[in-house]
Amino acid sequence: MLRLVNVNSYYGLIHILKNVSMHVSEGEIVTMLGANGAGKTTTLRTISGLQPVRRGKIFFHDQEITGASPEKLVSMGIAHVPEGRQIFRPMSVYDNLELGGYLIYKHYGKKQLKTDIEQTFALFPILKERRTQYAGTLSGGEQQMLAIAMALMSRPRLLLLDEPSMGLAPLIIKDIFQMIAKLQADRKLTVLLIEQNANAALKIADRGYVIETGKIVLEENAGKLMTNQEVKRAYLGREQKEIWE
Amino acid sequence: MNHTDGTLIDVLQFLFMGIQRGSIYAMVAMGFNMIYNATGIINFAQGEFVVLGGLMMVSLTMAFNLSIVFAFILTVLFVMVAGILMERLTINPVKEPTVLRLIIITIAVSIIIKGAAMCFWGKGSHYMRHFSSSESLDFYGATILPQTLWIFAILFFLVVAYVIFFNYTMTGKCMRACAINRDAARLAGINDRKMVMLSFALSAGIGAIAGIIITPIIQMDYTRGAMLGLKGFGAAVLGGLGNSMGAVFAGILLGILEALGAGYISSHYMDAIALVILLLVLFIRPSGIFGSSEAMRLKEF
């Protein structure tokens, strides 16, 4: 479904992604592990068109999308939930969802947008309760739910999730990951998930990549990654002794 | 006149004059804020939009003898097209748009518009007939021009339209979304470049309206843009950059202070008063009286 071929990306003069090649198949949850600054967020920003590709190609459904604008990619079915809960804080929850469904409004009109928002409310009942509240006044978990709900409003085929668990309480993290797994099962949604919380991510993922300083160093099934010595040491926080003895 | 309290009448008279001038500053400031919110830059050609509006209206009503309403609409459309052209030709094509580059471009555009206006309309100042009668009305001893009442009414109408547009229409919400969080707006499928163009169109439109309604009172000539723009900028800063309701209050406040200063100190210092206030705000509270200092820290400019 999504394929990156030798993608290179720069912030100014700094080479961030170095020949990154990866793929995500239809219906999969794929996760990407890596330390801070390894290039995980840049990978997602490159896929969604926020970050320009310097060399290499990106394909979506076998169609080349290298260099397409984010607006175009959203309409093709790629939704990106950026890290840090990028919602419109001074606007109401309802307005946020409306904006998330901007393309629905543009193509199908106001009525359809309303029905879509009602469907989203069915999926996230807490947002319905909070519909008139300013988005900035929601709790962290609710804001993350809203960010995901906004992305879903554009009826995506592929969801790019950037650290949905960042700064949230463990119980809420559990909720959010259950929600992601449910979305994949119910809506046949394909998910590319970036997480610091490698344990939680690997539990729901089918496959995973490990990225280090802008290079993909490992690709494995999620189950195998969980038992991989190196991954355990670096990302799962198992004790050193356990591995070395 | 049966009022004995002359000083009260004076104050009332200055208030009218202040609110009248302030309304214009408020409109210019609203125009500044629209473009500021969409792009993060100050459009120094904002005052030129006002001049274009005024001069175009003069031509249409005085030379072509069109009715006020029809000329009004045509003029606003004309200046909006000028705003769109400005954005498409000078802002949009910039490869690596930094705030400084864009601001310098707007200064260049303002010089070009000023030059073109001089070639087209000449160096003299232009008179335009008032919307309705030019006879002053008596109001508790003070006098007020019907045109001033038009100015108040149009400012009120603009503020209402502004609130409705930005809070209840999808396009307005999209523009706000772009201002709040550009990346998130683009990820929702909103074309931010289009919103920038729209902000130039609307801002030019507001500028044109300001120019149209003030021309019968001040008489327009091609050099007026700089001072009107500067005072509008003062109002925008005083109200907190980006905060249009703040700008409306600040604009009117600035106008009143200016009128009081002109009346009680000296009318020679009228322009200086606005600039001194602008400097004081920048020294003491750069976020403006209605702006939050927290938001200010996040802004580029």
Query: Considering only CB atoms, which chain A residues are within 8 Å of B176?
Result: 88, 91
- The per-residue pLDDT for B31 is 94
CB contact under 8 A, A106 and B185: no
Res B4: pLDDT: 53
What is the value of pTM for the model shown?
0.86
**Which of B187, B190, B191 to mutate to test binding with chain A, by most A CBs within 10 Å of its CB?**
B187
Contact B189 A151 (CB under 8 A): no
B31-35, B141-145, B209-213, range with the lowest pLDDT: B141-145
Q: Provide the pLDDT for residue A238.
A: 62
B188 touches chain A (CB under 8 A): yes
- Is residue A91 less than 8 Å (CB to CB) from chain B? yes
Residue B9: pLDDT band with limits 50, 70, 90: confident
CB of B94 within 8 Å of any CB in chain A? no
Chain A's closest residue to B178, CA to CA, is A88
Judge: A99–B181 Cβ closer than 8 Å, yes or no.
no
Nearest-5° Cα angle at A6, A14 to B188:
75
Measured distance CA(A159)–CA(A190) in Å, rounded: 6
Tell whether B173 is within 8 A of chain A (Cβ): yes
B182 at A interface, C-beta within 8 A = no
How many beta carbons lie within 10 A of that of residue B219, not counting itself? 15
**B298 vs A223, which has greater pLDDT?**
A223
pLDDT digits (tens, 9 = 90+) for B247-284: 999 999 999 999 988 888 888 888 888 888 888 888 88
pLDDT of residue B249: 92
Q: What is the DSSP letter of B24?
A: H
Per-residue pLDDT averaged across B100-112, rounded? 93
CA–CA separation, A39 vs A43, rounded Å? 6
Chain A, window 107-126: residues with a beta carbon less than 8 angstroms from a chain B beta carbon: 110
Instruction: Give me the residue from B170, B183, B189 closest to A75, CB to CB.
Output: B189
HSE toward the beta carbon, residue A11, CA cutoff 13 A: 8
A157-212 pLDDT, tens digit each = 999 999 998 888 888 888 889 888 888 888 889 999 998 888 888 989 999 999 99
The string of pLDDT tens digits covering residues B40-78 is: 888 999 999 999 999 999 999 988 888 889 999 999 999
At B118, the amino acid letter reads M
Query: Are A141 and A176 contacting, i.e. CB atoms less than 8 angstroms apart?
Result: yes
Distance CA A225, CA A215 (A): 17
Domains within chain A, CATH numbers bracketed: 2-77+156-244 (3.40.50.300), 86-154 (no CATH)
Does residue B185 sit at the A interface (CB-CB below 8 Å)? yes
Q: Between β-strands A207-212 and A215-221, what pairing exists: parallel, antiparallel or unpaired?
A: antiparallel
